[in-house]
Amino acid sequence: MRATVLVRPKPGILDPQGQAVESSLRQLGFPVGDARVGRVVDLEVDAADEVAARAEVERMCEQLLANPLIESYEIELGGR
Amino acid sequence: MTESRPRIAVVAFPGSNDDRDALQALAGLGAEAVPVWHADEQLPDVAGVVLPGGFSYGDYLRCGAIARFSPAMRAVAVFAEDGGPVLGICNGFQILCEAGLLPGALRPNESLSFVCRDVDLRVERTDTPFTSLCEPGQTVSIPVKHGEGCWFADDELLAELEANGQLVLRYEHNPNGAVADVAGVVNAERNVMGLMPHPEHAVDPLLGSTDGALILRGLIAAARDRTAIAA
């Protein structure tokens, strides 16, 4: 099963990359605000069903894919 | 009476680049420095460990996140659990935070710029093996060179660490945006310390400062004590 993990800097955590991207977008004339830069991890998960797959990917996030002190994560299953 | 030369391991990972400087500095200050490869499952018979600077595993995912799974790191965790002194420098600090052996996390510098210069540090705590040779409140000059040295702890964790006296070194002029100007921390048991500045680059007047030797000599003294107890 395909799984996609979206990892983001937690709200309140300084994100200088996001600030740099926002500044560049503004220079291009896009009036954007509050840009944040995270990370996408696509995975093929061997699991019986979506419940099992989600539980497995959650464990991956807690142990490696995200640092819970500074990052939040979101898991999407299926698709593509 | 000549002082014994305690054995101290320097663990090199793929992408470490300050391991040789650490080996040389430790040897010059009176230790027997022992190189250890990340794939080694056991540490040799040592009484101290240094995790050196560099870019282990290309800093993939997050700095230090992959190195923490090295076989040698399992042995380092056991050594730390047993009370052995462990010093993580720069990337070594990042690895110790990712491994959960030290509190907090290291993020990209606030400026997004790589900083490489001598910085002044205030020694906040001298009740750790690593800073035992410093004076309380002493200012030491030691170079930093990092792109991701912005140490972070949330308010609750920061208050807890402050109360426990675990915030050991602070920048006089914060080069990276670290919370509360923190440059170095210890664990609650005070046998594991991490810092972003590089003491191994400040051990000779030719390098502009010898203040780094204070930190490394502290580690060496702790390793010597541990060797004597074991004997």
Query: For residues B35 and B41, what is the distance between their CA atoms, to the nearest angstrom?
Result: 14
B65 and A13 in contact by Cβ < 8 A? no
Between A and B, how many CB-CB pairs are < 8 A?
32
Residue B2 in domain: no
Query: For residues B52 and B89, what is the distance between their CA atoms, to the nearest angstrom?
Result: 5
> Domains in chain A, please, with CATH?
2-77 (3.30.1280.10)
- Which one of B90, B97, B134, B150 is the catalytic residue? B90
Domain with B168 in it: what CATH number?
A: 3.40.50.880
Q: What are phi and psi of B181, to 5 degrees?
A: 60, 25
Closest to B108 in 3D by CA, of A39, A42, A64: A39
Residue B51 in domain: yes
Residue B1 in domain: no
Closest to B215 in 3D by CA, of B140, B115, B105, B136: B140
Interface pTM (ipTM) of the complex?
0.85
Domains identified in chain B, total number:
1
Query: For residues B81 and B91, what is the distance between their CA atoms, to the nearest angstrom?
Result: 21
The verdict on whether B116 is a catalytic residue reads: no
Q: Which domain holds residue B175?
A: 7-230
Per-residue tens of pLDDT for chain B, all 231 residues: 567 899 999 999 999 999 999 999 999 999 999 999 999 999 999 999 999 999 999 999 999 999 999 999 999 999 999 999 999 999 999 999 999 999 999 999 999 899 999 999 999 999 999 999 999 999 999 999 999 999 999 999 999 999 999 999 999 999 999 999 999 999 999 999 999 999 999 999 998 999 999 999 999 999 999 998 887
